[in-house]
């Protein structure tokens, strides 16, 4: 495999974002005993730890994170939303908007650092300092909408980065591929009418948000066709995810010819995730990444940036993340995915006829709207 210079963002402050005492997903109170949130520092900090312990860090170029500016946020978010986050953060903390996005004191700055880490990674790629990059950031961003945070997300990390790059004249056209198990509703909403951003989301059908991500949601006006959803039934494994990449993502990205590919990298399609019901393994994530890296070579000089999103198994996420870094760098660490013992040979990895039909519907619609050209 070709070896590449890969940029890597991780900042210890990402682990200091405090998500309080929600019991997994739900606010404590009444009969819900206070516990820990599924969205905790563990999965990300342990991924950062494995990057060190595996020796992978020696192959990476550290890219320092910085906070995005107020101006950067306001290209995507309303002033009201930014003010609400800042005010609560300066006080005792609060919630970003939907009751599922708690944060503690100081998270305003950490959320700006998450968007800024994604931006710094993308700048390093666009400026040619590195070939590609992985931004291991927290809090995640792909559910955040212009006027509210949702689903653990405060600010829309990937769109904030894209808009800063566009304002600086560094990119014009960007493709987003979101393989987080939840729908990428933020990019869908932000780019609904935008002809220059292709937003593709593969997710578990109506998992979160429960009312978005349908195949029929495809953008409007100048953005018509440029939003592609692949809502998969629960139970999909590596086979279905690779089919989505082969039959939908790659042909749409080829036809779109972006200047840059951004990947919303959520590891919650993992077999061991508490919030998803899929069965993807580290090998599956790595194969997806290899295919995306190859199409980036074809269309945009290899320029691809992964921005970390969800993924709530502290045990499995580090191995999935390391596998993606192996794909980005072209360097094998020899570290094995421990969950392979239980699910590596699962029959769930075989693409079923029903899964194939669902994926085909997304591909057919994209083809009908001219987003896939044969
Ligand atoms: Zn997710």
pLDDT tens for residues 272-324?
A: 999 999 999 999 999 999 999 999 999 999 999 999 999 999 999 999 999 99
Indicate whether 348 pLDDT > 80: yes
pLDDT tens for residues 254-276?
A: 999 999 999 999 999 999 999 99
Q: Are 89 and 105 in contact (CB under 8 A)?
A: yes
Section 169-179 average pLDDT: 98
* DSSP letter for each residue of 299-312: HHTT-EEEEE----
Q: How far is the CA of 119 from the centre of ligand 1 (A)?
A: 20
Q: What angle do CA 141, 12, 271 make, to 5 degrees?
A: 55
325 band by pLDDT with thresholds 50, 70 and 90: very high
In this structure, is residue 305 part of a structural domain? yes
Q: How far is the CA of 88 from the centre of ligand 1 (A)?
A: 24
Q: At what angle do helices 317-329 and 42-53 cross, to 10 degrees?
A: 50
pLDDT tens for residues 199-246?
A: 999 999 999 999 999 999 999 999 999 999 999 999 999 999 999 999
Say how far apart CA 50 and CA 318 lie, in whole Å. 6
pTM of the predicted model as reported, rounded to 2 decimal places: 0.98
In this structure, is residue 1 part of a structural domain? no
CATH number of the CATH domain containing 111: 3.40.800.20
Say how far apart CA 107 and CA 109 lie, in whole Å. 5
Q: How far is the CA of 277 from the centre of ligand 1 (A)?
A: 11
Q: How far is the CA of 3 from the centre of ligand 1 (A)?
A: 30
Predicted local confidence at residue 2, as pLDDT:
81
In this structure, is residue 373 part of a structural domain? no
Say how far apart CA 225 and CA 220 lie, in whole Å. 7
Write down the H helix ranges in 237-281: 238-244, 250-256
In this structure, is residue 374 part of a structural domain? no
Q: Annotate 265-281 with b (16+ C-beta within 10 A) or e (fewer).
A: bbbbbbbbbebbebbbb
Say how far apart CA 184 and CA 143 lie, in whole Å. 6
In this structure, is residue 119 part of a structural domain? yes
Average pLDDT of the residues of the chain: 97
| Paired strand residues for 150 | 153
143 labelled catalytic: yes
Q: How far is the CA of 235 from the centre of ligand 1 (A)?
A: 16
In this structure, is residue 277 part of a structural domain? yes
Indicate whether 374 pLDDT > 90: no
Say how far apart CA 297 and CA 291 lie, in whole Å. 10
Q: How far is the CA of 182 from the centre of ligand 1 (A)?
A: 4
Section 114-139 average pLDDT: 98
* DSSP letter for each residue of 58-94: GGEEE----PPPHHHHHTTS-HHHHHHHHHHHHTT-E
Q: How far is the CA of 30 from the centre of ligand 1 (A)?
A: 26
Indicate whether 139 pLDDT > 80: yes
Section 155-175 average pLDDT: 98
Q: Give me the domain span that covers residue 157.
A: 6-368
Catalytic position from the list 143, 182, 316, 349: 143
Q: How far is the CA of 25 from the centre of ligand 1 (A)?
A: 12
Q: How far is the CA of 254 from the centre of ligand 1 (A)?
A: 26
| Paired strand residues for 260 | 174
Say how far apart CA 39 and CA 25 lie, in whole Å. 8
Indicate whether 1 pLDDT > 80: no
Indicate whether 73 pLDDT > 90: yes
> How many folded domains does the chain comprise?
1
In this structure, is residue 116 part of a structural domain? yes
């Amino acid at each position: 495999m070709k070896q590449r210079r890969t940029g890597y963002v991780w900042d210890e402050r990402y682990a200091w974002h405090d998500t309080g005492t929600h019991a997994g997903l739900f606010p404590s109170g009444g009969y819900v005993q206070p516990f820990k949130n599924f969205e905790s520092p563990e999965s990300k900090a342990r991924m950062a730890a494995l990057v060190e312990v595996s020796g992978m860090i020696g192959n990476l170029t550290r890219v320092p994170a910085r906070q995005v500016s107020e101006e950067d946020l306001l290209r995507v978010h309303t002033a009201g939303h930014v003010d609400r986050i800042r005010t609560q953060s300066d006080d005792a903390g609060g919630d970003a908007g939907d009751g599922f996005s708690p944060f503690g004191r100081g998270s305003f700055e950490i959320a700006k650092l998450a968007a800024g880490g994604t931006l710094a990674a993308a700048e390093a790629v666009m400026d040619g300092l590195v070939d590609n990059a992985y931004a291991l950031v927290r809090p995640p961003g792909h559910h955040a909408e212009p006027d509210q945070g949702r689903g653990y997300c405060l600010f829309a990390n990937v769109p904030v980065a894209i808009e800063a790059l566009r304002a600086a004249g560094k990119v014009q056209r960007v493709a987003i591929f979101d393989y987080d198990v939840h729908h990428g509703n933020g990019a869908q909403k932000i780019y609904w009418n935008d002809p220059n951003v292709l937003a593709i989301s593969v997710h578990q059908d109506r998992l979160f948000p429960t009312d978005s991500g349908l195949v029929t949601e495809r953008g409007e006006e100048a953005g018509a066709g440029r939003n592609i959803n692949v809502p998969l039934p629960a139970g999909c494994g590596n086979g279905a995810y690779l089919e989505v990449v082969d039959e939908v993502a790659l042909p749409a990205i080829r036809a779109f010819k972006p200047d840059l590919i951004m990947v919303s990298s959520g590891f919650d399609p993992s077999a061991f995730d508490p919030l998803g019901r899929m069965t993807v393994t580290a090998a599956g994530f790595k194969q997806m990444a290899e295919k995306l890296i190859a199409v980036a070579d074809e269309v945009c000089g290899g320029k691809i940036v992964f921005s970390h999103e969800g993924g709530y198994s502290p045990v499995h996420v580090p191995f999935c993340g390391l596998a993606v870094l192996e794909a980005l760098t072209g360097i094998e660490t020899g570290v094995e995915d421990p969950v392979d013992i239980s699910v590596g040979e699962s029959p769930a990895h075989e693409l079923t006829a029903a899964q194939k039909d669902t994926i085909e519907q997304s591909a057919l619609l994209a083809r009908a709207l001219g987003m896939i050209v044969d």
